[in-house]
Each structure stands twice: as structure tokens, then as C-alpha cells.
A = this chain, B = another copy of it.
Amino acid sequence: MAPVKAAILGFGTVGQGIYTIVNERKQQLEKTIGTPIEIAAILVRDLDKTRPETPGVLITDRFEEILAIPDLKVVFEAIVGEEPARTYLEQAIAAGCHVVTANKVMYAKAAPSLERQAREQGTGIGYEATVAGGVPVIKTIDNLNLSNEVTGIQGILNGTSNFILTKMRKESCTFEEVLKEAQELGYAEADPTNDVSGFDAFCKLMILSGLSFGEQPDWENVPMEGIDALSLDEVIDADRQGLRYRHIADVRRGEDGSIQASVGPVLIGPDHPLYGIDGVDNAVAIETAYAGTLTVIGPGAGMLPTASVMVEDAAVLLRKHATFRELVTRS
């Protein structure tokens, strides 16, 4: 069977992870979805930059060249920031491609319109990687939406914040000291504003809200605090009482039917499902109508965890069509 053609937009850590996994798992993908995936092209910003070798792959800095590839079926988007990512995805969907994104800032805003567009075009959007990296929270909620109901979500959605809070508690270091260490370890960006202000967790929460409740709250009405609001004394005092501050993103439907959301440090006790989550892990506690609280925990970032759920997203979308072929052949 001829391979399905895919393109990667952006060839940083995550983009390279996608390339690696698609190639390492060629035979497995052929078996599970019915066709191998071929990375036909990669969009880069700077053609002159040195990068890993990708034999036979078109490397271009012009998106039009990507769109012009005959029979392109999947576009992986691994670039940062709202634009041009959003425009690229709109054009890819219009061209009949499935798109898979890791771009939470873009997707938090663009989800409603991109999802409508994809529905009309009959293509799919994979966005597991936008929330909690390698942790399959989107797919879990997707399944719950079939015949159960999400009633509330509490998540540790920013690994950097959780790493800093954990270190402050365990080693009595100040926020500034741990932030410096996190930057040296590569857990925090040079500009850590999005992480420590709570904005990163906020964007992920808005995506979860749209998926779970079919709508997002008004952004202006969501209280948002970062861990920079906490002092070392507060963290240590809590620890002495057997309590812990966690940076928690929370969303639920209020009694009046409106969506209630908040992002910020919350003091919790040992019975809370997020009490034990230390370090850079992400965790999401999903409260459901029928199955109590389900908690999923795992790496919230990183090249291979993030890339692996993006390849998985593509496989899920392509398998839908493989099912179609299989059923048509049988009937």
C-alpha cells in the first residue's frame, strides 16, 4: 500500500521527535493503520541552519510548497506562537488534510473555529499534545464524552511550576533559586513568564473546558495566579501541617449552568488525588458522573513524550479511514 504523506511544520525538539518516531515505527504503523506514514516535507524558518539529516525529505521555508504536495494527508504542527501556526492549519484543513498540533496557546483560542472547519471538511484534528504532553487526557475525556460525563477537572498542567513547588518544599529553596536551577536543567524557558504566571496552565485548561463542556468560560472571568504568588514561608508552613500547595487548574459547570474555572496555587491535604504528584510530572483528575474520579499522570513535556502522542493522534485519525476501507472491502 502506498504510504500516507505527511509534513512537519517546525523542526525543533518536538518536530525532530515526530520524524524519529514515524521512521522507527514504520512497520508498526503499517500494521496498525494499514499504511506506513512517509514524512514528505518539513517546514523550517531558516534554511541555512544545521539540522539532522532527513534523506529524501523536502526541506522548505515556504508553506505553499508543502500545500502543493500531491496527496498530502497529515500536517503535524510543532511551531510556537499563534501565528503563522493558525493560518497554516486553516489552509491545511481547507486542503483536506488531518492536522495534529502541540500548540496550546494557539489552540486555546482557535479550537472552536478550527474544529468547525474540520467538521465541515470531513478531516480530523489531533491535539492530545496541547495538554499535559504525553499524558492521554484528551483521548480519555473523548471516550468519557460518548456515554459518561465529565463533571469537573483538576489538573497540575504545568510541569515547571510543579517542579519549582516541589523543590521549594523539599529543599527549602526560594522561588528564584529553584527557577534558576530549572532553567539550567532545561525544565524552564529563558523567559519563564508563561509557566510561572499560570498562563500556560490556563491555555490547557481552556482546551479541556471546550472538550469536556462544549464551551470555554469568558477568559476575563477566570482568576489566574502563578506560583510566583507564593512565598517560601507559606510553602514550609503548609508542609509542617502535612499540607501541600499545588498549582491547580480547575474547571467545572456551576449550579447555574455556567462554566467556573480558576488557575492558581491551592492548599491540599493527603486525600486529594494531586497531593502525591511531585517533580515535572503532569496529572489530571477527571471527575465523572459514573466512574468516580479518574486520575492520569505522566510526563507533561519532553521531545519523545510529546511527539509520541502526536504520531498516535495521526494514527487514530488515519485508522478511521482504514476502517472505512476495510468495511467497504468486506461489504
Interface residues of A (CB under 8 A from B): 21-22, 25, 28-29, 32-33, 122, 134-136, 139-140, 143-149, 273, 275-276, 288-299, 302, 304-305, 307-309, 311-312, 314-316, 319-321, 323-324, 327-328, 330
Give the residues in chain B near A294, CB-CB below 8 Å.
134-136, 296-298
Q: Which B residues are CB-close (under 8 A) to A295?
A: 295-298
Q: Which residues of B contact A145 (CB under 8 A)?
A: 32
Query: Which of B293, B299, B314 sits near A291, CB closer than 8 Å?
Result: B299
- Which of these, B32, B140, B289, contacts A147 with CB under 8 Å? B32
Expressed in whole angstroms, the Cα–Cα distance for A328 and B139 within the complex equals 25
Q: How many copies does the complex hold?
A: 2
| Interface of A (DSSP majority class) | helix
Question: A106 to chain B: closest CB distance in Å?
Answer: 23
Q: In the bound complex, do residue A298 and residue B290 qualify as a contact, i.e. CB atoms below 8 Å apart?
A: no
When the two chains form the complex, which single residue of B291, B311, B319 contacts A305, counting CB atoms closer than 8 Å?
A: B291
Decide: B146 and A312 in contact? CB cutoff 8 A: yes
Q: A139-B139, A140-B140, A295-B298 are in contact. List 8 more A-B contacts (CB 8 A).
A: A25-B148, A148-B312, A289-B308, A291-B304, A295-B296, A296-B296, A296-B297, A297-B297
